[in-house]
Amino acid sequence: MRTAGRVSIVGAGPGDPEFITVKALKRIQEADVILYDRLVNEELLSYAPPEAIRIYCGKAPGEHAVPQEGINKLLIRYGLQGKRVVRLKGGDPFVFGRGGEEVLALAAYGIPHEVIPGITSAIGSAASAGIPLTHRGVAASFACVTGSRCHGDGTPVRWDLLAHSVDTLVIYMGVKQIPFIREQLLLHGKPGATPVAFIERGTTHRQRSFLCTVEDMQEVAAQVKLGNPALIVVGEVAHIPEQVAALQSAASMRIG
C-alpha cells in the first residue's frame, strides 16, 4: 500500500526573501520536492536540502512553464510517493494564487496537505512603498481585484461597483490592462483626479514607485515603461508617501 506524503501549499511573500514565515522556511528545509513559481525569490531555494528536487512552474502573462493541470498532477504524484512536497508560491497561495485548486486536487486523492499563508503583494508591496491601504479619516476599506480578468471568459470584474464601493482599490496583474482599467473607472464615475500609485517589483532591490492619477495613468505607465510584476493602488492613500516626505523635509529644515 502506498503511503501518502504531505504537501505544503506555501506562500513565499511578495519578493523580499526575508518576508518568509518561520513555518514556511521549516517546510522548505525539510522538503523532498519543491515546485516553485516565477515570482518566488530563488534565494529561498538555497535553504532546501541539496538533494531536494526543484521544479520550476513559473507563469508569465500568456506563457506557462507548466500548465495548472500539470502542476496538480505533479503534486499528486509526489504526494502518493510519500514525499514531503512544498508548493512554493509568490505572495499568499489563496490570493490569486490558485492554491484552492491545488488543495481540491489533493483532497480528491486523500493526500494530506496544509496551507501556510504568506504576505500578499497588496499588503507587502504597498507597505514597502509607504502606502497604508487603510488610513483613519481617508480610507476605511479596500478591495483586491485581478486585472487579468478584464477580458475573456469567466465572471467579469464589476468596475461599476468597485469604482465607488471601496476607498482603496488594489489591482494585481493589471499592467497590460491599464488603458481598459482607466476607461472603466472613468466610465463609472471615478474622478479623474483620484490618486494612483504604481509599485513595480515591490519589496525587492529593484522596486520602483510612481504617483499619478486615474486620468493620466495610461500616459505615465507608458512614460516609465511600467513592467510586470506591478501593483496598482487607486485611492487617496496613494498620497501618503508624498505627505510623509514633505513632513520629513520640514522636520529636517527645523532641526538644521
Tell me how far apart the alpha carbons of residues 167 and 195 are, in angstroms, rounded to a whole number: 11
Number of H helices, E strands in the chain: 8, 12
User: Is residue 153 among the annotated active site residues?
Assistant: no
Contact 164, 232 (CB under 8 A): no
**Pick the catalytic residue: 16, 32, 37, 92?**
37
Tell me, what's the pLDDT at 1?
44
205, 180 Cβ separation under 8 angstroms: no
Q: What is the pLDDT of residue 150?
A: 58
Q: Which of 16, 89, 92, 173 is catalytic?
A: 173
User: How high is the pLDDT of residue 151?
Assistant: 55
CA distance 194 to 124: 22
59 is catalytic: yes
Q: Is 225 a catalytic residue?
A: no
pLDDT along the chain (256 residues), means of 10: 77 96 98 96 97 90 79 96 97 96 97 97 97 97 86 74 95 96 96 98 97 98 97 98 93 81
Q: What is the pTM of this model?
A: 0.91
